[in-house]
Amino acid sequence: MSDAVAAKVQYLLIEPVKDAHFGTKNFENPDDYISSGEHFAGKNFEAYVKSIDRYPDSHFDIIVVDGRARPSCIKHSIPKLKRDGWLVVDNSDRTYYLKPFSFGGPDWKVFTFDGPVPGIKSFSRTTLLKKCY
């Protein structure tokens, strides 16, 4: 990574917190901020997801979603993308990641890529979404 690019990179560690209402939530619901990962049972990722909200709308050229609470991350990422910006969603073969959203039509161009997962004997999908509005 060049020094110019490195100067623009900011790393944040935002840990999940205990969620007293975890049992009443659904990991597929973008408004619940939880993960389906068994190691994160009882945890809430709301602060992690909302860390992008401190940036103005239409701020980013590209956003990569490849972490926890992905439906929540996608929801908060959409307004932060510039027109002609790219939203990259890894493991989008897990259909619940994109299910709550209406991608396609004139507002979004959708590209999917299937391929092997390094180190695992399986395939997965990555979806690239180009924001056209």
Domains, the chain: 16-131 (3.40.50.150)
> Percent of the chain, pLDDT > 70?
100
Q: Tell me which of 5-19, 32-46, 93-107 is least confident.
A: 5-19
Rounded Cα distance between 133 and 117, Å, is 32
| pLDDT score of 6 | 73
With a cut of 80, say whether residue 5 has pLDDT above it: no
Closest CA to 111 of 94, 127, 131, 91: 127
With a cut of 80, say whether residue 1 has pLDDT above it: no
How much is the mean pLDDT over the chain? 95
More confident: 74 or 120 = 74
With a cut of 80, say whether residue 45 has pLDDT above it: yes
| Highest averaged pLDDT of the listed ranges 1-5, 80-84, 103-107, 116-120 | 80-84
Rounded Cα distance between 127 and 110, Å, is 7
**Mean pLDDT over residues 82-109, rounded?**
97
Question: Residues near 99 by Cβ (< 8 Å), separated by ≥ 6?
Answer: 28, 71
| Positive or negative: CA dihedral 76, 77, 80, 84 | negative
| pLDDT score of 2 | 80
In contact, 94 and 127? CB cutoff 8 Å: no
